[in-house]
Amino acid sequence: MSYYLLLYIICDISCVIFASILLRKVTLNLGDTFEVDWLRYLISSFIFFALTDMVWPFIRLQTAIIPVWILRVLCSISEIALGLVGYVWFIYAEHRLRSRLLKDKKHSALFAIPFLILCLLALLSIFTGWTYTINDDGSYTRGPFFLMQHAIIYFYVLTVTIQALVKYKGVKTNRDKNTCRSIILFASFPLVASIVQLFIQMTPILCLSIFAAILFIFINLMEGQIFTDALTGLNNRRQAERYFSSLVSQASGYNVFYLYMLDVDHFKSVNDSWGHIEGDVALGIVASSLKKITAQYRGFAARYGGDEFMLIIRALHIVDPKMVLQKLNVFLADECRDSQTCYDLTISGGWYQCSSKDESFLDAVEKADEMLYINKRSLA
């Protein structure tokens, strides 16, 4: 029995150590400010849970090392910690899915209610035995609200999983598909483990499975950094160069494409008036509009840097290059209205027609930039 106790604690301590290492590796390169903050909260809440999970072998083995009243308190804290992981994952995943369920503080507060109920049940169970009972002899039995407590955690996990499954069928870009897949797979680890632990209680499988799910998300985000802009989810400049090279190698008078350089008008005023976090939101709105454009014109969109973006579209999909910019600004107005922003966003752009295999990426960008700034000066 002492060997089992030691093994269980070693597993939990290992999870704490490795999760702490991951926490130190989380930087703003992995997403926007909100996303990165909540990823940190997710890992921190898991560390909290792993620390409290160490109480379970003492409860299951009915050891006399720890007084019963302390076991009851620690057991309730462990249940709250597990609920916290579920709630934080819900907020994080909802943001990654760009869901409208948490579009304002009122909705966010509403979805916090189940977690608060879980906390209340866990704390009162110390005295009432609603979710569990630890008897004076150290034996553990489940209470009448035990399943309700776990239903609350499943609610958070399954809600975002179902949303990801539904969204997966409609998204067009590989980036969005990959996001949906990672959220679906994240849920599978702890869901399977929690079901196993309902029947095989003497294992640390739940703690290990949650860590495996977090590690999977972290690796997925790191892989996405290579060719994806973390803030907007669009392709990055490196991928734009690769895509340009693949098109220009086939360019001819009959195989023409347009390279657009785009700039968000008066973006500095958004940062100055509303702060950099809202600036991140604004860039996300621009990215959503660009994804709609690429879906309509079968094009390629990338964040070039700062508030500059790039579009590459084959000429056969375009009647008039100006119409792309007009349509983009219509999409932007719709996104701002749906997001209820306190500001309007518009985009200026310039383009260059590539029809020769001798075109270089930097030359094409420079020529599109020249037209962009001519257009911006005409609007000033």
The answer to whether residue 229 sits within a structural domain is: no
| Range name among 150-154, 223-227, 303-307 with the lowest pLDDT average | 223-227
- Give the mean pLDDT of 159-165: 93
CA distances for 212 relative to 184, 216, 318, angstroms: 14, 6, 46
CA geometry: angle 147, 148, 150, nearest 5 deg? 65
Residue 304 forms part of a structural domain: yes
**Number of domains, the chain:** 2
Domain residues for the domain of 48 are 2-224
pLDDT for the residue 379: 66
Are 70 and 203 in a shared domain? yes
User: What is the mean predicted confidence (pLDDT) over 175-200?
Assistant: 83
pLDDT of residue 173: 66
**Assigned token pair, 259:** 């390279």
Structure token pair of residue 137: 């002899």
Inside any domain, residue 230: no
Q: At a CB cut-off of 8 Å and minimum separation 6, what does 334 contact?
A: 289
pLDDT confidence tier of residue 123, bands split at 50, 70 and 90: very high
* pTM attached to this predicted model: 0.71
The residue among 224, 245, 260 that closes a domain is: 224
For residue 232, being part of any structural domain is answered with no
pLDDT at 70 over 70: yes
High-pLDDT (> 90) share of the chain, %: 48
Last residue of a domain, one of 180, 201, 224: 224
Q: Is 233 exposed, middle or buried (0-12, 13-18, 19+ CB in 10 A)?
A: buried
Q: What is the pLDDT of residue 309?
A: 96
Same domain, 156 and 270: no
Flag whether 193 is in a domain.
yes
For residues 31 and 148, state if they share a domain: yes
Residue 98 and residue 130 in one domain: yes
Averaged pLDDT for residues 212-237: 85
Domain check: are 203 and 333 in the same one?
no
Could you write out the DSSP letters of every residue in 284-321?
HHHHHHHHHHHHHHT-EEEEEETTEEEEEEEGGG-S-H
* Predicted confidence (pLDDT) at residue 63 exceeds the cutoff of 70: no
Three-state DSSP class for residue 230: coil
Distances (CA, A) of 152 to 90, 128, 156: 12, 19, 7
**Gyration radius of the chain over CA positions:** 26
Please indicate, yes or no, if residue 40 is contained in any of the structural domains.
Answer: yes
Is residue 231 one of the residues assigned to a domain?
Answer: no
Of 249, 255, 237, 234, nearest to 360 by C-alpha is 249
Looking at residue 264, what is its pLDDT?
93
* Domain finish residue from 198, 224, 250: 224
Q: Name, in order, each residue with C-beta under 8 angstroms of 355's C-beta and a sequence gap of 6 or more.
A: 251, 252, 253, 255, 256
Least confident of 11-20, 21-30, 44-53, 256-265: 21-30
Same domain assignment for residues 203 and 294: no
For residue 27, give the 3-state DSSP assignment: coil
CATH code of the domain covering residue 91: 1.20.1070.10
Query: What's the half-sphere exposure (Cβ side, CA atoms, 13 Å) at 285?
Result: 28
Is 80 inside a domain boundary? Answer: yes
Q: What is the DSSP letter of 227?
A: T
Closest CA to 129 of 151, 145, 148: 145
Please determine, for residue 281, whether its predicted confidence score (pLDDT) is greater than 60: yes
Place 62 in a pLDDT band, splitting at 50, 70 and 90. low
**CA distance linking residue 346 with residue 325, whole number of Å:** 10
- Clarify whether residues 195 and 274 are in a common domain: no
Find the mean pLDDT for residues 112-140: 91
Same domain, 164 and 290: no
pLDDT grade, residue 232 (50/70/90)?
confident
Please indicate, yes or no, whether residues 89 and 204 belong to a single structural domain of this protein.
yes
DSSP state of 30: G
CATH of residue 244: 3.30.70.270
Taking 70 as the threshold, does the pLDDT of residue 311 lie above it?
A: yes
Percent of the chain's residues with pLDDT above 70: 95
Q: Is the confidence at residue 1, as pLDDT, over 60?
A: no
Q: Are residues 217 and 92 in the same domain?
A: yes
Strand locations in the chain, DSSP E? Answer: 132-134, 140-142, 257-264, 300-305, 308-314, 347-354
Confidence of residue 64 (pLDDT cuts 50, 70, 90): low
> Is 259 within 8 Å of 314 (Cβ atoms)?
no
**pLDDT over 80 (residue 55):** yes
Whether residue 204 sits in one domain with residue 267: no
Question: Is 14 in the same domain as 156?
Answer: yes
* Residue closest to 302 by CA, chosen among 202, 347, 235, 359: 235
